[in-house]
Structure 1
Amino acid sequence: MSLEPMTPAAVAGFDHVIDLDAGALPELIAGLLADARAAARQDRLAAERRVREAVELVQREGKRLLDGVRPMPLTGGLAPWQVRRVDAHLAAHLDAPVKVSDLAALVRLSVSHFSRAFAVSYGGGAREHIIQRRLDRARQMMIETNEPLGQIAAACGFADQAHFSNRFRRAFETSPLAWRRLHQRGQEPSIAAADAAFA
């Protein structure tokens, strides 16, 4: 069946439904289509009019409903006390292995629930966050101390200096030694030589 553009009179026939809520829309459309099916046996023009009304209603009200959708605020994150507990635990244990299951137990959540809530609160996964915290601490130590990179790697919970260097390069696109030389002044030559041997 070919649908012709609706006349202003036909549109006016169902303008009273502009303030529909989403729950009433399917029932109204079903009613229009049922009327169209019933009218098709007796009056083909009336049937076409009802189908056009249904199409127009879907287009108009669907757009209105979609335009009214607002992004929902983020929910489902960790409670403030849980965030504080996780942050304190990470600060105290970055030099040792930190398991996601241990963090979940610390805040009394299952691992899957904790992982989802953590991602909402921190904007990413727990493992990535732990690595970033370790790298942040390592950069601070490289600036503030003269410790060799191997000792810094161990103090920040990396398996060894190679693991640390690999993660550092991925995050900052430079080696730890090059970064340290750029940011630390007055470094003792023996420390620089020790770092260069392992970079």
Structure 2
Amino acid sequence: MTGISLNKGGNISLTKAAPTLTSLVLGLGWDLRTTTGADFDLDASALVLGADGKVLSNAHFVFFNNKRTPDGSVEHSGDNLTGEGAGDDESITVNVSALPPEVDKVAVIASIYEADSRGQSFGQVRNAYVRVVDAANGSEVARYDLTEDAAGETAMLFGEVYRNNDEWKFRAVGQGYASGLTGIANDFGVQL
């Protein structure tokens, strides 16, 4: 089953679309458009943010070297070095029912590992997407396909799961960063 397809800036109430949702999987996937033969490694990561828009702590920056938050409510599946094969290349599980009350949103990011030294950007990536899947039954609730050209950008804020009163929602963001993962991390208060 395919979920609701979102455009950039669009959002969906996960609580209304999947009333029994307690845990979700943010699946990211991509294909390479062009390659120089060099390895091309995209990495998914998540930032667990408070109401001030900053990470709760450095331990709330979830990526291949820090696979879970201290309370285990957000967990990374592990690093896929090539993006080969069908389906999600990397995923992040968010147990929304276990997120502490101070969590306002979980931002999901994809970045290109060593993009500058390899001369790579999102302009060389095609069919990039993020999808929200109900972890309990595997059904896709929502999907955002990145369509715009991001020729100079090395990291992308794909979307965010956020709390709105008593509801959990997902927003398709699609904001590129030429400053890579470091630039996004700095913007959200991660101390590198």
Q: What TM-score results when the alignment is normalised by the length of structure 2? A: 0.22
> Which protein has the bigger strand share?
2
Relative contact order (alpha carbons < 8 A, sep ≥ 6): 1 or 2 greater? 2
The structure with the greater share of residues assigned to helix is: 1
Provide TM-score, normalisation by structure 1. Answer: 0.21
State the structure with more CA Rg. Answer: 1
